[in-house]
Structure 1
Amino acid sequence: MKFLAIEVENKGVKSGLFKPHLKNESIKVLELYEKGIVREIYFDQFHCAILILECNSTKEAQEALNQLPLVSNGLIDFRISELNPYTGFSRLLE
């Protein structure tokens, strides 16, 4: 199943706290990419991370994201949405 994960910065976190974790964050994202869990990753216009994950459940997606140093150190979190196939085209056949 595919999941969309959108970064949510935790309130009150000072920007200087991020830098010591950024290299390890990149390493962990690469590991998850190589395992086929992270399928795509982007930054939006606000420099928040947007990830497409391939997991068996929302719980599994959350567990994968919890491995990221920025998440495990309480600097960010993610809003996770399960993505389902678009079925609207079937209306064209009615």
Structure 2
Amino acid sequence: MQFLVLSRRRTDQFSNADFERLVPSEGAQARHLYSIGFTRQIWHRGDVPGACQVVEAKDEGEVHETLATLPLARAGMLDFEIVPLKPYAGFSLLLSPSVPRRLWREASWLGQPTVTYYG
């Protein structure tokens, strides 16, 4: 199962020097989590100090357990928001033969060229 993880550095409680001390080991552990397939994609956040990542785990408990291996998390320097993700079914429904052909012709709401099906 995939999860969206938003982390935020607790800059109100820790100094830049506190974070800088752990950044090298944090980066090494982040690379390790990517190499084992836990982290699928990762970005720096543009709104606050922290990261956004898509991770793969069997359940939310495993996500918490694995994130706890990050040095900044172990030090209590990060807050996490974890969002379970589900597959998006909209495209498969739109292209299904059981969908009324009228909807196929009116598919321009997707922001794509209109799909025409005369089957």
Q: What band does the TM-score fall into relative to the shorter chain? A: 0.7 to 0.9
1:19-30, aligned counterparts within 5 Å?
19-30=20-31
The counterpart of 1:48, out of the listed 47, 50, 60, is 50
CA distances 1:38-87 after superposition (whole Å, capped 9, x unpaired): 11110121342001101100000111111001111011121101110112
* Structure ID, larger Rg: 2
Which consecutive segments of 4 or more residues in structure 1 shift more than 6 A?
none
TM-score normalised by the chain length of structure 2: 0.71
Q: Which residue of 2 aligns with 1:31?
A: 32
Q: What root-mean-square deviation, in Å, do the aligned CA atoms of Structure 1 and Structure 2 show?
A: 1.7
- Structure with higher RCO (Cα < 8 A, 6+ apart): 1
Q: Which residue of 1 aligns with 2:9?
A: 9
Number of equivalences: 94
Q: What 5-or-longer segments of structure 2 have no aligned partner?
A: 101-119
Worse overlay, 48-57 or 8-17: 8-17
Q: What 5-or-longer segments of structure 1 have no aligned partner?
A: none
